[in-house]
Structure 1
Amino acid sequence: MKSGSRQQWQTLWMYIVLSWNFINGQIRYSVPEELTKGSFVGDIAKDLGLHLAQISHRNLRIASEFGKQHFSIDVKKGSLVIGERIDREVMCEQTPNCLMPLEIIIENPLQLYRVDVEIQDINDNSPRFHFTERTLKIAEYITPGARFPLESASDPDVGSNALRSYSISPNEYFVLNTKTNTDGSRVPELILEKPLDRETLPIHTLEITAVDGGTPPKSSTMKMQVVVLDINDNIPQFEKPDYNFFMKENSPKDTVVGKVTATDLDEGLNGAVIYSLGVHTPEAIRRLFNISEIGGEITIQEQLDYEKASSYKFDIRAGDKGNPEMEGYCTVHIEIVDINDNAPEIIFTSLPSPLQENAPVGTVVALIRARDIDSGDNGKVILQLHPDRPFKLQPSFANHYALVTDGVVDRETFPEYKVDIIAKDSGTPVLSTKKTLTITVLDVNDNPPSFSQPSYAVYTKENNAPGSVLCAVSASDPDVGSNSQLSYSIVDTSAQGISLSSFMYINSENGTIYTLNAFDYEQVKNVQIQVQAMDSGSPSLRSNVTVHIFVLDENDNAPVVLYPPVDMGSLPLQKIQRSVKAGHLVTKVTAVDADAGHNAWISYRLLEMPANPLYTISQYTGEIRTRREVTEQDGAIQGLTIEMKDNGQPPLSSTVSLEIALEEGSLEPMLDVRDKSHSASFGKKDITLYLIISLAAVSAISFLTFFILVLKCARNKANFFSNGRTRSDWEKNTQRNLHIQLNSDGPIKYVEVVGGDMLSQSQSYRSCFSQMTDASNFTISKSMTASDFMEIASPVNTSTPGQDFENGEYQVSIGMICFDHHCMLITQTKYLDRYLYLINSIPCCGLAPCPVFVSCLAHH
């Protein structure tokens, strides 16, 4: 073909660029072969609905099933162009439809498109004869009409560009006929029209021309010499012109495919037939098959492969030994039967990228293609996955699959998945292939920190050194990276009205809690804080834990006189008559200690006692009484120094001064209604019995109180839990109950209420007992709650002999107890954030009964 014609064809095809269309959701282009590199094929960006900027951003690329990249993407124009020269005859041989499937892969997100490019044939090949010269020998006595098959020309082009016809140079003896076989191939036949005369013309020179159907048509010529013979006038004849055989592709070497038979009517050497492959049989077929010269048996010389060629067609020549030699031809068709000898292939079109553990169900992980080069059921492939993996295969088209998530992936459970993909065909026996795909799971912040303990309890002594370590909390996070990096902080800014920032500090990196200031048990007995652990993820997750800090008491407070009021280290002047008897009650000193437990147990004693002291003080009650009768030698003013010492280690003490004035005259004895004989005998002999009875009374009250509280707590607990309340709610409510502590060193000094809320519903009791009698006589008269206390605790301004309540220090009356004509007034005050209940003797008016207590108070 001339270069001008080729350029015209290429220009024509470029302007045509046969229209593309979608078939079953696929894109199809048509393009002629032999186009130059860079020639336009189709506007792939437009057909895929992409902008030019998305081509490079989303990494548009081509995955071809062929070894070479015949096409490429013009990223500037978004078009599919020729990557290298395409020869249709090399790619598809003589297949009518030459399709080149392309896989267009787009990433971010991952998508796959199928593009079929049809390569159209151009008339770039001329018909060719296997031999440019041929000699045909014909006996001179051959009658007209005899036909002589000639070698057919081959044209690799297809369609209209394929071989169309044959012609013969002008002569008077021969004409040319074209015979069409069942497979569509055209074979020329030389027909004798006029008897030959060797003596006239022994050799005839002819030209056979093969012409294709292209525009313009192409042709080639074979020169033929016809030699006229005058012997052997019969050619071998085959039983049938075409033989069809079937052979399995796994047949071993030297297996007989079949047998052809030809006969010659001549006798002797002219009738002896010799078989051979046709002279134009390709070399590839000659390597595969062989035919015996005598028997005509066709055998296999090499292993057959259905995947390389499914059928073979060639000619068998039968020649005799006559002179001249005569020959006949038949065509052999061998169909190769496929067997399942190829395992399926698993091709990863796109390798998986790391998968986030919060990826939704249906997320595409990878693109997979299955292929089996066998045919029929042997080539049908089924893909399977390991059953216990959260993935599944989603079919796409033509053995293409998308590996997608089918469940929740959790990095903390499986940081990496090994997915086994098994491909099985449907042949017999079944062949399979397995490939393992590794999928890495990326962490997301989906786990909050977890503390090592549900709560922490810390015990520290008061007056601790600032900067000391209280405790260390520890949390862990199963996430990784920044998602597991924890920081600690204290959530509460204050607790019980105390600013936590001034008392403690937490190391944000390791959770160690330090003290900034010393604790004071008398101010803070326990602190409950919330510590938070927060990770560094986005968004960050956090968890809280409760830290209970209990302050332990130390003996750091000396006793303080609570009653009578102290002025500049001295008690108010007390007056008694010189006529008082031994054992007369002068006054009572009541002291308290802000500490707790043994540190708050107080004992009293007089300092600097003379040889025959007039006064004595009770070690545990602080009552000051006359030890003997007053004499004339006793001075008018008596000075006493009272020491109050606690029971701590080491013990702390304080002193207070008291002056007692001795006066002449007759006054009613203060709060002393005991007869002399009983007083004398009891004061000397039964003090031990008094202490024992007092302790037994306190123990009985404590035991009974404890027993009732246990019953109430058990009933409340059952009610709380049956109503759906949690234990933490119950504990929180319980912590608000009043705790009544009976502090006694012998006779009861005071009742201490610690940690209580006056408005909370706690169980308490109104007790009636005598402080002035030798035998403690008390009973439980009524069960009361804290609200009952508030109802009966009305502010009054009471006064007792020797006491000054002008400042209203004892303003709340809780209750009273009675013995004979004496009443015990129980009053409430607040000292160092604690409620104290004091018990004091108040004489009633004459023989007035105690229920008229208010009228009694009016006279005092």
Structure 2
Amino acid sequence: MRLKPPDSSAKPLIPKHSSELSVNREKRNNLTNGEVEGVINDHSLVPSSEEEYTLQPQLYLETGVGDVQPERLRGLSKWVTESEHSQSEPYLLPHSRRRRSWLWNQFFVIEEYRGPEPVLIGRLHTDMDKGDGSTKYMLEGEGVGSVFVIDSKTGNIHVTKSLDREEKDEYRLVATATDRETGRALEPSSEFIIRVQDINDNPPVFPNEPYVAMVPEMANIGTSIIQVTARDADDPTYGNSARLVYAITHGQDFFSVDPQTGILRTAVPDMDRETQDEYLVVLQAKDMGGHLGGLSGTTTVTVRLSDVNDNPPHFRRSAWSFSVSELAAPGVEVGRLTATDPDLGENAQLEFTILDTEEAEIFNVTGRDKEAVIVLNKILDYETRNSYTFSVEVTNPIVDPRYIRKGPFKDQATVRVMVLNADEPPRFSQALYHLDVSENCPPVCSVGRVYAVDPDTGQSTNIRYSIDPQSDPEALFRIASDTGFINTVMELDREQEQWHNITVIATQRDNPNLVSRVVVAIETLDQNDNAPELDRQYTTSVCDSSAPGQVRSCFVFAFIFDG
């Protein structure tokens, strides 16, 4: 409840449950702080014998704060309510036991109150005040002079500015009543507290916003996603100003929130990441327990769905056709099959396999970016086989057993590879020829024959033969261009050179670009055409005393150049 500024007579604001807060000296009844707590001094109840009891002078506070129940301070004299008047003795003390006559309680100022004039929040008064202006009331402590001012004659306390509980929630002041002329204290100084009463002036805020959270797709209903927490700067110990409840203002079709804890949960069981992978949820925190008139704050939670392996792989087509030349070398790519898997990461890993054993030896398959790459393993021959048909399978190596019902997590496709006939170069009957010829054979001496055919026709009629001149620089041999017969051009001498390696070229007459080469090793065979020769000139001698028939040792060395 906000205070209303007092009238010009500076009367305090009266609580609605209190009929009177000022002093009634005729009845000698002093009531402070309204309906619950206060001090009642009633001289009509004082015993006639003043030797036994006397009423102590009292300094008390009249508060102008309505609807606020002050709290009793520990260790202070007892306050007696009006309802206890008929059952309790008045507050009397014996002569021999004079006690402090200050009776204090903390009282409250409602925060953020703004009025045109300083607001009367209470009044200090002592029974020793005779009302002639000789009593002087003084305040010391926090905010005195700047926030709180006191009328030294009346004891009226005013607050001069609007207070914010969130900046400072209480002020500790010291009150003193003195004789204005002598300065003598009429009562001992005492401390009291002015508390700033909270109002609901702060909306909830989310200090950690914005929020981003992950939850697996296809999660069960009620799966916890994230807990959001709002803060309210109002007083959590007073009323409902800081009692928060949470609600969803956007996204409630897919999510729910616990109104007390702020835990966000899934509300449907079939959120599919492949359909929608991200949701924006708007959460609201409202104070006053969510009741009408409460303040609210909102925040956003971006919920992203993480992937699970709930989709099997598939080939884009069930049948694929490729072609490859018979001249293709091993390692050449034949074609690619494309597969799809809408999952992510390891859930989208694919493995490819050729299911037919024979074709798996001729072709190889490797996976590359969700494609099955078919590679040639062996040389193909159109004339031997002109097509291959086999099956390729794609599988997920990692399968989540929770989603087996969505399987099987594999797929097959049929692949047909056509072998293209190519205009091949001539093909020799041997990869290497070994021929021989006797030395000293007069030209033209036959050495042997090489043979090549056109592999496309199987015929040799369109083959032309020649000798690579770089392999026979001395032009010792000649080849018949039509038949492939090789002859010597001159006599060969084995003792000079035993082996002759020549290269024969076979060229296709109708396409001179188609050429094949083969090495022909020609060995020169030995003939007995060389007499022995001494290795050097020898000189011999005989003694004159030698007898006829006597043998003398003598070694003679000779070389034979034939094999």
Q: Name the TM-score, length of structure 2 as normaliser.
A: 0.45
Higher relative contact order (CA 8 A, sep 6+): 2
Greater fraction helix: 1
Considering fraction of residues, name the structure with more strand.
Answer: 1
